[in-house]
Amino acid sequence: MPHMKIDGREIAFDAETNILQVVRKAGIELPTLCYQAHLSPFGACRMCVVDAGARGVVTSCTTPPEDGLEIRTASDRVRRVRKMALELLLASHDRNCLTCGKSGLCKLQDYAERYGVETVRFFNPTDEVKQPIDDSNPCIVRDPNKCVLCGNCVRVCYEHQGMHVLDFAGRGANVTVSPAYGKALADVDCVYCGQCATVCPTGAIQVRGEIDAVTRALNDPSKTVVFQVAPAVRVGLGELFGLPVGTNVEGKIATALRRMGADRVFDTNFAADLTIMEEATEFLHRMETGEGLPLFTSCCPAWVKLAEQSYPELLPHLSTCRSPQQMFGAVVKTYFARDTAQDVADIVCVSVMPCAAKKFEARRPEFAIAGQPDVDAVITTQELARMIRAYGLDFTSLPDEPWDQPYGESTGAAVIFGAAGGVAEAALRTAYQQLTGEELTRDLWQTTAPGETSREAEVTIAGTTVRIATVNSLAAAAALITRMKAGEAPYHLIEVMACPGGCVGGAGQPPHDTLARRACRAQGLAAIDHGSERRQSHRNTAVQALYAEHLDTPNSHAAHETLHTAYASRRRIEESITLEGGGPVMVEVCVGTCCFQQGSYATLQKFGKLLRQHGLDDAVALSATFCFERCGQGPNIAVNGQVIENAVPERAEEIFRDVVLPAITTADACV
Amino acid sequence: MPATAPLPARQEGLRKFQKVNDVLERYGWDATNLIAILQQIQAEYRYLPQDILTYVATALGRSPSEIFGVATFYAQFSLEPKGKYEVRLCDGTACHVRRSIPVLQAIREKLGLAPGEQTTKDMRFSVETVSCLGACGLAPVVVINETVYPQMTPEAAVKMLNEINAREDSAQ
């Protein structure tokens, strides 16, 4: 095996692709701002520099290891280069650390202290002019003044999520990370997965906090504050209090929330079991009829938003089941309120989630009754840790208490919702039992290995082979959908989670996350599942009781009212191009990808010609727009907002005669 | 929607959009030709309109943020509409030491440009500095559209602008 000499010690290396990995294997923690194991190496931050002798000072993250190479990690030269790089990074950084949400968790702050940067000699442009902060959405806050241009957010958004919402803009000293045209995240097709915040080394991208709304409710004696805690939180929170990664701290969470004044402390796992009862039934129904297959899971709010924006044609394939968070909210506001004879307005439902996008999901208008949201506030694992510290609770010495009943009971199938593959596995366990009357004895898959973004499995149920796929990256989801459309992916059930490793790797989890830590948390969840007495959602007695009392059977009318939802396509691009004319009648021709391929450009040209022939430039405003969300029936055009499908060039004259001309006549009559 | 623009200006839109598609066609709808595509589009519109950039992104199967990144990286691309006359003043080393800055100040003052403003409100002139035009022997140099004005002084620059204004006013 080849060897490298690191600080005088011989270190063997094997599959390591860069010197940084070898140095870390040697037990030396080199600093990095821009290095992420699951993203391409970038070499931008210059923190991981090492002294390679005659080769000079090189960035270890972008240099492959070589047999016989001698490097030093703390030579005077290295220390000087690193300290200078830090000083230059700090020079244009908004250094209001005391009021920054990342204070104490910021890598830049840590390194400045660790490597002894005592003064910054350069002028700081953020002292004079601050770039505007983007807090346009409920999930993510971007402060460009704290950005060190490490590019982690750009790469995770493009490489892992395939979204490419963020990129570098500008040049030289004016470079910023920005959505297209400097727009706000709310105005572009961001799905709020928040992975950009997870990989951000500083406070430039953070998950938006809403602790104040929660503490206000806790301090209001007229409110009944009901908490629900997602599965991934219980194996993530402990890390922030020094416990080993993956430790299950659900008992301490229940105690902590009660001490803060929570009236009920429930478990989102209960709702996960409920989700499985609904989703497995839905799946079996679709298997029976053969319609709407493959069935896509709908628990991940980032994935649901992506599907609505970019895959409207797949919406009939999305499970109509609400996510566990929203099922829980609906059950609390409907049945808990009824059973405890409380006014819904007095109940505040707070969820603790490992996720940024759940904050968006909770605010979706369809998840509200008479304007009152089913879930009033969503806090993350990190926010819960902050609350525990603010309430002065010594977390590690708290006793373990159980969840409140009845929504505290859950099975092993529910807890694995928090890791990639878990939702599909849980659904299969119940579907198998419903079809065969027996329990599925083998696990579908072991926990997903770090960095593995897609897996598939086959299960034979009563003679039928069921093919299942799971992806934990939106880029992998897009690739799977492409294969599916090409007829190369004949799956029946497809689970999509946006974040690496599933919800255990969500943006609300402890900061500076690594794939290895995510895998440990997933193992923590698997251990809870394996240790559970009941490992199938249909054996949850509290769920059975809820059906007996209120919901009748899975997919019943009542269940559909409370536990299911509907999807609508969202326009991805709001822009349109004004091309010709003005006047009261608007003709828009879609030039989005699908319509364009189906000949919309020729249609557009014909319309332009017809307008000129008839001398109607004064009466008609012609524009090119991007999507009417009916890609299957393209080319689409809209006359005064009324969409006409299949507007092929050959039909242009007919549409002009039958629709546009009458519209002009009507408009004239109005004048 | 501009309802009162004169007719020829309105028909420009579709003609230009057709040009965009011709350009995309000529470059094979291939994003590796992005810079050339953007140059051709800018030649047509005199800047890169946001809606057209979004269209180019969609047509090339790329993200608008990526196209925006390229368009903002190169100084030759403008995302703001430019004036009919693009005044480029060289502020490279040779021009700078031959006093290019007073020339710039005189031009900006004559055109009434506020700090940070590049284009006059009537869209007749845009003013920018460039780093070297490769004509150091003629320093300080100003180029307006394709015409080179060598060895400029503040007085000569104002005279030159007056001439253009007179020409434009009489044409109207």
Q: How many CB pairs lie under 8 A apart between chains A and B?
A: 107
**Which chain B residues have a beta carbon less than 8 Å from that of A170?**
72-73
Q: pLDDT at position A289, please?
A: 94
Q: pLDDT at position A605, please?
A: 83
Q: pLDDT at position A669, please?
A: 67
A178 and B63 in contact by Cβ < 8 A? no
The first and second tokens of residue A25, run together, are: 């294997």
The residue-averaged pLDDT of A479-506 equals 94
Domain of residue A112, CATH code: 3.30.70.20
Q: pLDDT at position B2, please?
A: 41
Q: Is the pLDDT of residue B5 over 50?
A: no
Among A6-20, A229-243, A611-625, B56-70, which is the least confidently predicted range?
Answer: A611-625
Q: pLDDT at position A574, please?
A: 67
B4 and A158 in contact by Cβ < 8 A? no
The residue-averaged pLDDT of A276-288 equals 96
pLDDT category at A445 given cuts 50, 70, 90 is: confident
Query: Do residue A410 and residue A311 come from a single domain?
Result: yes
Query: Do residue A363 and residue A499 come from a single domain?
Result: yes
The whole-angstrom separation of Cα B156 and Cα B152 is: 6
- Percentage of chain B modeled with pLDDT above 90: 69
Q: Is the pLDDT of residue A627 over 80?
A: no
Minimum distance, in Å, between the CA of residue B103 and any CA atom of chain A: 26
Minimum distance, in Å, between the CA of residue A188 and any CA atom of chain B: 9
B7 and A624 in contact by Cβ < 8 A? no
Task: Identify whether A570 is part of a domain.
Answer: no
Query: Do residue A61 and residue A115 come from a single domain?
Result: no
Helices (H) and strands (E) counted in chain B, each on its own, are 7, 4
A586 touches chain B (CB under 8 A): yes
Element (H, E) at B57: helix B50-60
Q: pLDDT at position A147, please?
A: 97
Domains parsed from chain B with CATH numbers: 7-73 (1.10.10), 85-171 (3.40.30.10)
Q: Is the pLDDT of residue B1 over 50?
A: no
B76 touches chain A (CB under 8 A): no
Nearest in space to A449 (alpha carbons), one of A37, A47, A151, A19: A37
Q: Is the pLDDT of residue B75 over 80?
A: yes
pLDDT tens-digit readout, B13-61:
777 888 898 999 999 999 999 999 999 999 888 899 998 999 999 889 8
Complex ipTM: 0.88
pLDDT tens-digit readout, A36-50:
988 999 999 999 999
Q: How many residues does chain B have?
A: 172
Q: Is the pLDDT of residue A197 over 60?
A: yes
Yes or no: say if B2 and A582 are a contact pair by the CB < 8 Å rule: yes
The first and second tokens of residue A122, run together, are: 């350069």
Q: pLDDT at position A327, please?
A: 97
Task: Identify whether A81 is part of a domain.
Answer: no
**Which chain A residues have a beta carbon less than 8 Å from that of B67?**
180
Nearest in space to A111 (alpha carbons), one of A161, A169, A150: A150
A577 and B11 in contact by Cβ < 8 A? no
Which of A306, A310, A579 to substitute to test the interface with B, most B CBs within 10 Å? A579
Average pLDDT of chain A, as a whole number: 93
Among A361, A383, A588, A629, the active-site one is A361
Query: Do residue A553 and residue A423 come from a single domain?
Result: yes
Q: pLDDT at position A608, please?
A: 82
pLDDT category at A216 given cuts 50, 70, 90 is: very high
Q: pLDDT at position B3, please?
A: 42
Query: Do residue A368 and residue A248 come from a single domain?
Result: yes
| Domain end (from A158, A178, A208) | A208
Helix (H, G, I), strand (E, B) or coil at A455: strand
pLDDT category at A288 given cuts 50, 70, 90 is: very high
Name the burial class of residue B164, with classes exposed (0-12), middle (13-18) and buried (19+) by CB atoms within 10 angstroms of its CB: middle
Domain of residue A340, CATH code: 3.40.50.1780
| Domain end (from A191, A208, A225) | A208
From residue A11, give the alpha-carbon distance in Å to each of A28, A30, A53. 12, 16, 17
A319: annotated active-site residue: yes
Sign of CA dihedral A225, A230, A235, A237: negative
What residue in B sits closest to A178 (Cα-Cα)? B65
Per 3-state DSSP, chain A is made up of helix, strand and coil in percentages (nearest 5) of 45, 15, 40
Domain of residue A596, CATH code: 3.40.30.10
Query: Do residue A524 and residue A643 come from a single domain?
Result: no
The whole-angstrom separation of Cα A197 and Cα A142 is: 9
The whole-angstrom separation of Cα B132 and Cα B100 is: 12
Query: Do residue A424 and residue A553 come from a single domain?
Result: yes
Q: pLDDT at position A645, please?
A: 87
pLDDT tens-digit readout, A219-238:
999 999 999 999 999 999 99
Listing DSSP states for A304-339 in one string gives HHHHHHH-GGGGGGB--BPPHHHHHHHHIIIIIHHH
Domain of residue A13, residue span? 3-74
Yes or no: say if A394 and A207 are a contact pair by the CB < 8 Å rule: no
Out of A582, A612, A626, name the one closest to residue B5 (CB).
A582
The whole-angstrom separation of Cα A62 and Cα A65 is: 10
The first and second tokens of residue B56, run together, are: 């180019």
Among A279, A308, A409, A588, the active-site one is A279
A206, β-bridge pairs: A141
Minimum distance, in Å, between the CA of residue A487 and any CA atom of chain B: 22
Tally of domains within chain A: 4
The whole-angstrom separation of Cα A20 and Cα A73 is: 10
Q: Report the interhelical angle of B64-73 vs B50-60 (nearest 10°).
A: 120
Yes or no: say if A207 and A194 are a contact pair by the CB < 8 Å rule: yes
The residue-averaged pLDDT of A494-513 equals 95
Q: Is the pLDDT of residue B4 over 60?
A: no
B162 touches chain A (CB under 8 A): no
Q: pLDDT at position B45, please?
A: 87
Task: Identify whether A79 is part of a domain.
Answer: no
Task: Identify whether A571 is part of a domain.
Answer: no
A479 touches chain B (CB under 8 A): no
Sign of CA dihedral B13, B15, B21, B26: negative
B79 touches chain A (CB under 8 A): yes
Query: Do residue A225 and residue A297 come from a single domain?
Result: yes
Query: Do residue A100 and residue A130 come from a single domain?
Result: yes
Task: Identify whether A382 is part of a domain.
Answer: yes
pLDDT tens-digit readout, A569-622:
877 666 777 777 677 788 888 887 778 778 888 888 888 888 888 888 778 888
Q: Is the pLDDT of residue A329 over 60?
A: yes
Q: Is the pLDDT of residue A5 over 90?
A: yes
Q: Report the interhelical angle of A268-289 vs A324-331 (nearest 10°).
A: 110
Q: Where are the beta strands (DSSP E) in A105-208?
A: 140-142, 167-169, 176-178, 205-207
Q: Is the pLDDT of residue B10 over 60?
A: no
> Residue A628's Cα: distance from chain center in Å?
25
The residue-averaged pLDDT of A329-334 equals 96
| Domain end (from A187, A208, A229) | A208
The residue-averaged pLDDT of A265-287 equals 97
A574: annotated active-site residue: no
Query: Do residue A449 and residue A317 come from a single domain?
Result: yes
Query: Do residue A467 and residue A346 come from a single domain?
Result: yes
What residue in B sits closest to A183 (Cα-Cα)? B65
Minimum distance, in Å, between the CA of residue B166 and any CA atom of chain A: 32
- Percentage of chain A modeled with pLDDT above 70: 97
pLDDT category at A469 given cuts 50, 70, 90 is: very high
Domain of residue A58, CATH code: 3.10.20.740
**Which chain B residues have a beta carbon less than 8 Å from that of A582?**
1-5, 10
The whole-angstrom separation of Cα A409 and Cα A405 is: 7
Minimum distance, in Å, between the CA of residue A371 and any CA atom of chain B: 35
Cα angle value A302/A307/A308 (rounded, 5°): 100
Q: Is the pLDDT of residue A1 over 50?
A: yes
Query: Do residue A261 and residue A284 come from a single domain?
Result: yes
Of A661 and B110, the one with more pLDDT = B110
Task: Identify whether A83 is part of a domain.
Answer: no
DSSP A182: G
